[in-house]
């Protein structure tokens, strides 16, 4: 099967990027990172890409007159590298409906909550404050609304009595690193597709193990 070509967009540390780099370093993995693009020059993820021998590009959004001009360059760079799929990995810029439309069903994002709950920022603190029993993360296809779109994969983790924003973030991040490469693999192997507002799966075990917290006495 030909490898799916990825463009990974970042703004920061890039631990999810690293998880994708590590997965792609396996010759059997059905995807390859063609380019890593950051909108911030100081993003450590750019170093991670360089260390892995992957093309690293900074397109600094502050040097453009408006969002449209920035996205025009972004689009050209992604096309230039022949990417089939964009993976947003901690990319902290909102994208316009025009850009999202150009990459419809060819752009995915990872978000640190069980969507559609807790869109936006400070997801872990808000979940703890609400006393919900589970935190988690979601990989989804991108739609113009923030943190919206057909859900590909989710991981749920129980929230403990002593949980802090930091401990929950660390717990969830570990799952993100497992899940993001898996979601990319599913797409590359043609095992997931969008149907209306949701994803449908082919040859995938959707599981039937309940997560209960607190555990029944």
**Residues in contact with ligand GRF, shown as a per-residue x/- string from 143 to 172 under the rule CB under 6 A:** ------------------------------
Q: Return the structure tokens found at 205.
A: 């075990």
Should residue 14 be labelled a site residue for ligand GRF when binding is judged by CB under 6 A?
yes
Spatial separation of the C-alpha atoms in residues 178 and 173, rounded to whole Å: 9
Of the candidates 7, 8, 9, 15, which one interacts with ligand GRF according to CB under 6 A?
15
Give the β-pairing of 56-58 and 85-88.
Answer: unpaired
Of the candidates 30, 112, 149, 150, which one interacts with ligand GRF according to CB under 6 A?
112
111 an active-site residue? yes
Should residue 113 be labelled a site residue for ligand GRF when binding is judged by CB under 6 A?
no
Judge contact between 100 and 88, C-beta under 8 A: no
Annotated catalytic residue within 111, 124, 140, 177:
111
Question: Coil, strand, or helix at residue 209?
Answer: coil
Instruction: Please report how close the Cβ of residue 18 comes to ligand GRF at its closest, in angstroms.
Output: 8
List binders of ligand GRF among 52-111 (CB under 6 A).
89-90, 110-111
Sheet strand arrangement including 56-58: 56-58, 31-38, 4-10, 85-88, 107-111, 134-141, 151-158
Should residue 176 be labelled a site residue for ligand GRF when binding is judged by CB under 6 A?
yes
Question: Coil, strand, or helix at residue 104?
Answer: coil
Spatial separation of the C-alpha atoms in residues 191 and 200, rounded to whole Å: 8
Active site residues: 111
For binding to ligand GRF (CB under 6 A), which residues are involved?
A: 12-17, 89-90, 110-112, 137, 173, 176
């Amino acid at each position: 099967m030909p490898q799916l070509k990825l463009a990974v967009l970042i703004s920061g540390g890039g631990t999810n990027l690293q998880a994708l780099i590590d997965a792609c370093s396996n010759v059997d993995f059905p995807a390859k990172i063609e380019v890593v693009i950051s909108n911030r020059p100081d993003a450590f993820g750019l170093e991670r890409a360089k260390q892995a021998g992957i093309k690293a590009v900074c397109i600094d959004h502050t040097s453009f007159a408006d969002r449209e001009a920035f996205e025009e360059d972004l689009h050209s760079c992604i096309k230039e590298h022949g990417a089939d799929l964009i993976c947003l990995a901690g990319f902290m810029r909102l994208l316009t409906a025009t850009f999202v439309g150009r990459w419809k069903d060819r752009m995915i994002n990872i978000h640190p909550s069980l969507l559609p709950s807790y869109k936006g920022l400070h997801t872990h603190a808000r979940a703890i404050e609400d006393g919900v029993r589970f935190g988690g993360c979601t990989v989804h296809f991108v739609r113009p609304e923030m943190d919206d779109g057909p859900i590909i994969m989710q991981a749920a983790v129980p929230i403990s009595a002593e949980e802090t924003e930091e401990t929950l973030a660390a717990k969830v991040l570990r799952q993100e690193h497992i899940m993001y490469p898996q979601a990319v693999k599913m797409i590359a192997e043609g095992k997931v597709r969008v149907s209306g507002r949701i994803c449908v799966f082919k040859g995938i075990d959707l599981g039937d193990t309940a997560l209960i917290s607190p555990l029944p006495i």
